[in-house]
Amino acid sequence: MTPLNLIFMGTPAFALPTLAALCEAGHNVVAVYSQPPRPAGRGQKEMLSPVHQYALSRNLAVYTPATLKDKATQDAFVAHKADAVVVAAYGLLLPEAVLGATALGCINVHPSLLPRWRGAAPIQRTIMAGDRETGIVIMRMDKGLDTGDMLLTKHITLPDGSNAGELHDMLAGIAGPLVLETLQGLKNGTITPKKQPDEGVTYAHKITKDDCRINWKGSANHIRQQVLGLSPNPGAFFVYKDEAVKILGADIAAIFSPATLGTVTNDVLTIQCRDGALIPTLVQRPGKKPMRAIDMLKGFPIPSGTVLE
């Protein structure tokens, strides 16, 4: 297709394959918008976002406004005279002046099957809820929270045991080609926008610390879904000896014990849950790298009979 003049808006690593696909397809990315640099690491040094770093490597113009609400920023956005805006995990709400700045509009890469899991954490919530199917929806943005018309959809089935990091990479990888197909269809007039169903709406609320702490009164399967949905970040955790120990991978087993829920029932960290047991396989102590549970226990034993908080 004839190259389009595009504005790209994105911040984290999830957005990189889409931006790369646009560049490699020969589209003219006239501007990249990303979140401002943030303090990170022990030294709290300001770090550019992954999208910002990649854009600089491609000699693309980068803009990092803290807000898009002021008129000067909106006027500068319109002045790029782009044909379309592509958004992937940008992180700021887009005002009407931005939404209406281009002929083909703003299209957004959303990592769930809308209207299920609108909102901030669709990848994590998909796995935490035990969904077996998910995908990418390319949608036309409007003023609502992920409420716009759907343009193209790609379904995938989750392999059993997939964690949030693995699903993130799967979805990021299929987003780029789908965006290119969407732009082609919008340019040619061959895509018919489809209104989202009114039924089946769920919200993927931002992950909080309460979401991460394990409640051993839950079922073993539910806790495993929590572990996978929060792995590798931010991580589901329990507290032992005032340490928040993350569980990043786990198996489950139909092992039943009369012990209190949350009790470690053997020397390899099998933990009694409501209807079975959780067997952590990958764990992480504060300030340490992830390691196998059996290796952690050599230097940080959690004896059988321990009741975890």
pLDDT at residue number 130: 96
Q: What would the mean pLDDT of 111-125 be, rounded to a whole number? A: 97
Q: What is the pLDDT of residues 181-238, one digit of tens each?
A: 999 999 999 999 999 999 999 999 999 999 999 999 999 999 999 999 999 999 999 9
**DSSP E strand boundaries for the chain:** 5-10, 28-33, 38-40, 45-47, 62-63, 84-88, 106-110, 118-119, 133-140, 150-157, 203-204, 236-240, 243-253, 271-272, 277-284, 291-292
Task: Provide the residue type at 151 as one letter.
Answer: L
pLDDT band at 309 (very low <50, low <70, confident <90, very high): confident
**pTM for the structure as a whole:** 0.95
pLDDT at residue number 39: 82
pLDDT band at 249 (very low <50, low <70, confident <90, very high): very high
Fold for the domain defined by 209-299? Methionyl-tRNA Fmet Formyltransferase; Chain A, domain 2 (3.10.25)
Q: What would the mean pLDDT of 11-26 be, rounded to a whole number? A: 98
pLDDT band at 259 (very low <50, low <70, confident <90, very high): confident
Please say if the pLDDT value at position 40 is more than 80.
Answer: no
Between CA 52 and CA 37 the distance in angstroms is 9
Q: Among candidates 20, 11, 17, which has minimal Cα distance to 57?
A: 20
Q: List the chain domain ranges.
A: 5-203, 209-299
The dihedrals phi and psi of 62, each to the nearest 5 degrees, come to: -115, 135
pLDDT band at 106 (very low <50, low <70, confident <90, very high): very high
pLDDT band at 281 (very low <50, low <70, confident <90, very high): very high
Residue percentage of the chain with pLDDT more than 70:
100
Q: What would the mean pLDDT of 238-246 be, rounded to a whole number? A: 97
Residue 227 and residue 237 in contact, taking contact as beta carbons nearer than 8 Å = no
Residue 172 and residue 88 in contact, taking contact as beta carbons nearer than 8 Å = no
Which superfamily is assigned to 5-203 in CATH?
A: Formyl transferase, N-terminal domain (3.40.50.170)
* Alpha helices, DSSP H, located in the chain: 16-24, 50-57, 71-78, 96-99, 122-128, 164-188, 209-212, 220-229, 293-299
Residue 262 and residue 247 in contact, taking contact as beta carbons nearer than 8 Å = no
pLDDT at residue number 256: 83
Task: Provide the residue type at 98 as one letter.
Answer: V
Is 230 buried (19+), middle (13-18) or exposed (0-12) by CB count in 10 A? buried
Pairing of strands 5-10, 84-88: parallel
Pairing of strands 84-88, 106-110: parallel
Q: What would the mean pLDDT of 264-292 be, rounded to a whole number? A: 96
pLDDT at residue number 43: 73
pLDDT band at 41 (very low <50, low <70, confident <90, very high): confident
CA dihedral of residues 131, 132, 138, 143 (deg, nearest 10): -10
Q: What is the pLDDT of residues 64-80, one digit of tens each?
A: 999 999 999 999 999 99
